[in-house]
């Protein structure tokens, strides 16, 4: 029996002796993988990032210029990651547009993401898109096409938002002269009269309203003509 136990102990020792060798092999493999990733990062990813930035910047500037004072930009830019968030002033919904650029775990591919958030959600829109490109064969035209198509898709969604009756339901008003219903943002002028605000499609209908209101007031004996406060939009 003791001989069997001794034999087993010897086999245990032999098996256990493989542990340091296995650990060292794993260390070497991990180190090799890390060095290869670092090489791909320096030789493939960083040049690709530079190309994306060249494509991105003028198109981002063009987008911002279209929205002027109602757009706000926040950027988190690092060597291996970039996230740009556009938020928009709107009385209809909370609108946030996000682009981010990064690489996958093995630094084999570049990943570009597009996210559009419109809250509350009362219409269909293209809210997400991802482009994955191999760094070894980086495709500049594909990046250009993807970025431009995403920005145009956002513009179309923003335009639809401002025409969508579900969003405009609380913003709809009527020109009291033209009898035309419209959103407040479409009205060119507005006028405060007797504690109420009126909206007009043009200065002409606003003047006609003032004229009609003055005639009614003049026909009312002893009634003073209320003050009218006109605002151009």
Going from the C-alpha of 118 to that of each of 4, 92, 115, 122, 142, the distances in angstroms are 74, 10, 10, 9, 27
User: d(Cα 111, Cα 99) in Å, to the nearest integer?
Assistant: 11
Examine residue 120 and say whether the peptide bond preceding it is cis (omega within 30 degrees of 0).
Answer: yes
Give the chain's radius of gyration (CA, Å).
Answer: 33
Q: What is the pLDDT along the chain (233 residues), one digit of tens a residue?
A: 666 767 778 777 777 776 777 777 778 888 889 999 999 999 999 999 999 999 999 999 999 999 988 999 999 999 889 999 999 999 889 999 999 999 999 999 999 999 999 999 989 999 999 999 999 989 999 999 999 999 999 999 999 998 888 888 777 889 999 888 887 878 899 999 888 999 999 999 999 999 888 877 676 655 555 555 555 55
Query: Global pTM?
Result: 0.69
């Amino acid at each position: 029996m003791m001989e069997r136990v001794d034999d087993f102990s010897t086999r245990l020792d032999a098996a256990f002796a493989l542990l340091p060798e296995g650990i060292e092999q794993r260390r070497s493999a991990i180190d090799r993988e890390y060095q290869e990733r670092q090489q791909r990062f320096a030789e493939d990813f960083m040049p690709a990032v530079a190309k994306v930035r060249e494509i991105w910047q003028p198109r981002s500037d063009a987008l911002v210029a279209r929205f002027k004072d109602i757009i706000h930009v926040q950027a988190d830019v690092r060597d291996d990651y970039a996230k740009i968030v556009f938020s928009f002033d709107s009385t209809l919904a909370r609108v946030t547009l996000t682009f981010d650029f990064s690489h996958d775990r093995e630094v084999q591919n570049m990943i570009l993401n597009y996210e559009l958030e419109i809250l509350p959600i009362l219409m269909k829109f293209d809210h997400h898109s991802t482009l994955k490109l191999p760094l070894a064969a980086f495709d500049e035209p594909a990046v250009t096409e993807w970025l431009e198509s995403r920005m145009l898709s956002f513009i179309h969604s923003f335009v639809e938002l401002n025409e969508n009756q579900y969003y405009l339901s609380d913003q709809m008003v009527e020109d009291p002269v033209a009898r035309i219903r419209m959103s407040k943002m479409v009205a060119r002028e507005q006028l405060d009269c007797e504690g109420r605000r009126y909206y007009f499609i043009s200065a002409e209908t606003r003047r006609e309203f003032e004229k009609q209101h003055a005639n009614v007031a003049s026909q009312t004996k002893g009634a003073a003509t209320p003050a009218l406060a006109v605002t151009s939009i």
